[in-house]
Every structure is written in C-alpha cells, then in structure tokens.
Amino acid sequence: MKKVEINPITRLEGHGKIAIFLDDDGNVDDAFFQTVEFRGYEKFLQGMPIEEVPRTVSTVCGVCRAVHFMASMKASDGVYGVTPPSAGRKLRELFFNSHYVEDHAVILYALGFPDFVVGPEASPAVRNVVGLIQAVGAEVGKAVLKKRSCAVKIFEVLGGKPNHPVAALPGGWSKTLTEEEREQINGWSKELVELGKLTLQVFDDVVLKNPKYMDLVTGDMYRVEVGYMGSVDENDRITYYDGTQKIIDSDGKLVGTFKGKEYLDFISERVQPWSYLKFPYQKKLGGWQGIKDGPGTNLYCVGPLARFNVASGMDTPLAQEHFERFHATFGARPVHQVLGYHWARAIELLNAAEKCVALSEDPEITSPDAWTKPTSCPGEGVGIIEAPRGTLIHHYVTNDKGIVENANLIVATTHNNGPINLAIKKAAKHFIKNGDVSEGMLNYVEMAFRPYDLCLACATHAVNGGQAMEVNIYGSDGELRRTLKNF
Amino acid sequence: MNKDYLVMGIGNPLLQDDRAGVEVVEALEADGNFPGELEVAYTVGFEVLDKTLGRKKAVIVDACLLGREPGTILKLTVDDIMGSSSLSNSHAVTLGATLKTGYELFPEEMPEELSIILIEAENVSEFSRTCSPKVQKAVGETISMIRDMAASWVA
C-alpha cells in the first residue's frame, strides 16, 4: 500500500496532518485527518474564579476570540443562577453579531473565495487573498476591508477594550451605550448590510453563474451524508446567541431538541487511538458506528450548512430571500454538499448585519439596566452558542465561591471531526486515480475541509503562515517519487 | 502619545514563549512614557492591518519557530515576509497576507517604515505568564532595541 501524507510544516499551528493511503492500483483506500485541538485549557481553568474565565478563554483562539468569551459568559450566568435583563442580552447579541460579520467576511474573502475567483488549480502563490484582490480589483477589495472594519469598531466599542473583550459579567454586560454610540453603531451596521449584499453578489457572479463551479458545489465529490445540529429560535429560525439546539439525522428526521446540560443526553464522544481529537456522535441513534456516512450514520455536522439544514428560515428579510434561493437551488433537504457551507456563510453574514441594524435601532439598547446582580452560586453552568463555524459548548462546575472545579469545552471542529475525515476521503477518492496525482490535487483536498473552517489550536499562530502542507507520494517500492507543496 | 508611531505585540499572553511580543509591549507600557501607541493582538490577521493603517512608523513583535537557537532575534522588513509562502492558511490570514493586502490597497495609509521583530521561541505550548530564560533575555534586548528606535523617531 502506498501512502500520501499531507503534513503541516508550521509547528505553531498544532499537529494537524492528512494521511492518504493508496491501494496497489494507486487508488485511494483510506484517508485520515489528525489534529491537536486543545492545549489543556480545561485543566488550566480549574481553580480560576468563574468571573475571570471569559477573558481567559478568549485567548483559546486569536481568530474567534469572541465566541469562547460569549459561551463561557453564558455558562457563568448558570453558575450564578442569573438571567441578564433584556438590555444586557441585546448588548451581547449586538456584540456577537458584529463578530459574526467580521469572522464570516474573513473566512470567505481570505480562505473560501480564492478557490473560485482565482481558480481551484491555481498556484498557492496567487490563490489567496492578495490574488483575489488582484482578480476582483482594488476598489472592491478596499470596499470590503473598509466595510469589514465597521464590524471591528462595533466589537471594540461594546467589548470595552480594543481587540480583547472585557465586558462580560455573570448576569449581564458591563458596557452600556450612549445615544451617540448607538447612532455610530447604527451607521456602521448599515455599512455591514452593504457588505453582505456585496458578498452575495460576488458569490452569485463568480460561483452560481459558473456551470463548472456549480458542478463542484452540487456534485458528489464534496457530498458527505451525515446528520446536523444547530440552534433555532421559537419560530424554528436560525439563531446564533441563544436558542434551542435542534439535531436531525442524515435523512432530515428530527432526533430531538435540547438546552443546556441536556447535551449530555444527545452527544457522546469517541476516542480514537490515532487522533488527539475526539469524535462526537449522536448517542440517541445508537453506539459508535465508526467514521461512515450514509443512511443510519450517527455522525453529525455543525456550522452554517448545518444551521441551514435544521432551521425553517432566517429572521431578517434579505437573508430569508437568499435562504429560500439556497434551498431551491439544492432541492432536496438536508443539503449534504459541503461546498454549500460557503454560500450559507455568505447569507449568514447578511443576516448578522441585518440583526446589527435592528438591534442598534432598538430603543432599549441604550438602557442602563444591563446587569442582574448575582445573589447566590448554584455552581454549574452550560453555555451553548452558535459560533460562526458551529456549535460551541462550555460547561463548568464550580464550588460555592464560584471557583472552577471542572470544565468541559466542545468546539465546532470537534463536532465536525468525523465528517471532515469523510470529506477528505471523498475528495481524495475522486481526484486521485490510478496513482496519478495532479498538481491541483492538494488544493482539491484542501477544498474539502476548508468549508468547515478548521480551528486547529489557533491560540498560537505562525508568522510564516499556518496550515502549509506537503504531499509526499511514495511508489510501491517505498521510494519518494514526488513532493507537492503549497508553501 | 503620538498616533504616528505604533508597537504591536502579537501572541497568546498565557502561553510561555508565544507571549514574547506581548511581554515587550507590557514592558514598554510599564515605562509610562513611550512616545507612541502600544497594542496587543492574540494572533495575526486583519486586526493587525486595522491597527497599522495611518501610522508613519510601526514595529510588530512576534514569536516564531524557525528552527534557530531559542532567543534568536530576527529583524525583518515587510518584503522579507511577503513572499508567496506567507499567504496560505486554512483558518487565519497570515501576517504576510495582511501586510501585503495593506500595501496593495492602501499604500498611502501604510507606514513608510515597518519593522518586524521575531524572537525564536523555545516552548509555545506550556501555560505560563513568564517566557523561558533564553527568550526572556531576548525580550529584554528587543525592548532596548525598540526604545532606541523610538528615540530616533521623535528626535
């Protein structure tokens, strides 16, 4: 058996690698994705006052710093048995939705769109955000970056500190808004809506109107048939900050709904000896069945595509129009085509921007009543949010002083671990035939996992670029025949 | 404080040597008289661009793992890290991509002088608010270097 290995060469990003095994005919026999996801934060948090946890866990990931902050803050509400007043909740939602816009914009323009705008087989030297800007033009690039910066400004005003939010309180939010700040945020939010419209126009022009790309988006090479999980509101619409978790099987049948600690009734995690990352599965559908898709599987996905599959619609008018178009294009539900993540992500960007406008026009947003003071400490809390890349669960148990005794964190990339393995295997099987590995193979395999927006221990980072990969191709005699690199 | 000048430290403040850039900024803050703005970012990305636009001179300090002796200090220019190898990632925008994007789109707003100081790390996985001894020494040398640079900016 031959082995093709895609290795990261950047140590700061963690220990992720892809190994593809070829059979004697040079076709793909199996493929595996391995990574280190967490750096022991669960242990590090033990002994820490719960009030300090949101600021601490925001360092888990420099990219998605707001999401760990938000999930742990919600868990701290439970630890102290408090519910934020309406204004406090709305401030949190405004903060979180601005982060959504920023995060989705970066993922789409820097990581997702270059595959389509510059081309999936283009050299990595140009298949990146700089190449994208050169392809779409500087004026579009400037507009995107300037509008995106409005999301960062909202994030900073509400977060209480540049770059790193500090406004979390158990039971509320410490940064209230003046009328002047509200007006400013409202103006920035309207710019974000324009960014959402522009983003969907780019996706329309580049992908939806290109038959070759639509074959990739709707074809079987990136189709992974699993179940899905995401948050919905009381009207079964997609929600990000808070809702009810809805989980369906691969046929779209409802498995159940849950809140808070009930996640333990629905999710189990399987340890595999070859990966540091656990494999969650739906325990209501039986025990561990292995990494397989198709009818009967109890693997499931989270993230934009999952949210589009579990929900009936969206809660803002422009995004709802695109939600309907999305499902009309794919037809059958659930949508199992992984590249649909990118489209769903672009629609969610618009949805989050529309929410920012609505929240910043809500008269209650400037209320000073943003905090419910805790009076007791029941000592256990679960915070579940929909991070941009999928469901994030923080679960803490504390003593009666609010000192953390146990912590459990389940992040989106962990939920998606099984499906990511399947997506890589599907793409590898499609693009590697008879031992003929093309130059573009590496990127076609990357395109299989990029929609999930992996978060590989990104608390650290690399000045020379993370996730650089090398594919080594060995002949049946064990000799290295060829090396492909994206660095 | 002069907004024309910026020193930005990049790193996770809780991880031993990854915090080297953060430690440099914290020390300059403690001086209390640094003639420019001081910022910290947990990772590279467009937030670095947000903070860099509109400056005349900027210094970015980061930890690195390039296989050199721990504590080695590298002083680079933007051109040094804007090669094609700096532009690919699956989750974050790299420093090279960020800065190249800035100079492509907003050349008139980017610093006329931008230095990147990298400190070779020894351990980036241990939770600690103190760098390892060799990196700590390099942090001290970097602080002195930046103080000298800042003195020339305002001379």
Domain boundaries, chain B: 5-137
CA distance, residue A397 to nearest chain B CA (Å)? 21
Q: Is B135 on the interface with A (CB under 8 A)?
A: no
Are the Cβ atoms of A63 and B101 closer than 8 angstroms?
A: no
The helix, strand and coil proportions of chain A, stated in percent and rounded to the nearest 5, come to 45, 20, 35
Q: Is A47 on the interface with B (CB under 8 A)?
A: no
Summarised one tens digit per residue, pLDDT across range A16-74 is: 667 778 888 888 888 777 665 445 788 889 999 999 999 998 887 777 788 999 999 99
CA distance A380 to A327: 39
Is residue A482 very low, low, confident or very high in pLDDT (cuts 50, 70, 90)?
Answer: low
CA angle A182, A188, A194 (to 5 degrees): 140
pLDDT (mean) for A206-214: 94
User: Residue A372 carries which DSSP code?
Assistant: P
Is residue A441 very low, low, confident or very high in pLDDT (cuts 50, 70, 90)?
Answer: confident
pLDDT of residue A16: 60
| Residues A371 and A112: beta-carbon distance below 8 Å | no
CA distance A228 to B132: 44
Question: In A331-473, which residue ranges form alpha helices assigned H by DSSP?
Answer: 340-360, 412-415, 417-431, 441-449
pTM for the full predicted model: 0.90
Q: CATH code for B5-137?
A: 3.40.50.1450
Any idea which architecture A83-223+337-373 has in CATH?
Orthogonal Bundle (1.10)
Residues carrying CATH 1.10.645.10, chain A: 83-223+337-373
pLDDT (mean) for A339-348: 97
pLDDT (mean) for B36-51: 88
CA distance B37 to B4: 8
Q: Which tokens is B146 given?
A: 């930046």
pLDDT (mean) for A347-374: 98
**Chain B contacts of A463, Cβ < 8 Å?**
44, 62, 64, 81, 86, 94-96, 116, 118
Q: Is A124 on the interface with B (CB under 8 A)?
A: yes
Measure CB to CB from residue B87 to each of A10, A11, A128 and give the nearest one: A128
Measure CB to CB from residue A163 to each of B14, B18, B40 and give the nearest one: B40
Q: In 3-state terms, what secondary structure has residue A36?
A: coil
In this prediction the ipTM stands at 0.83
More confidently predicted of B95 and A105: A105
CA distance, residue B152 to nearest chain A CA (Å)? 27
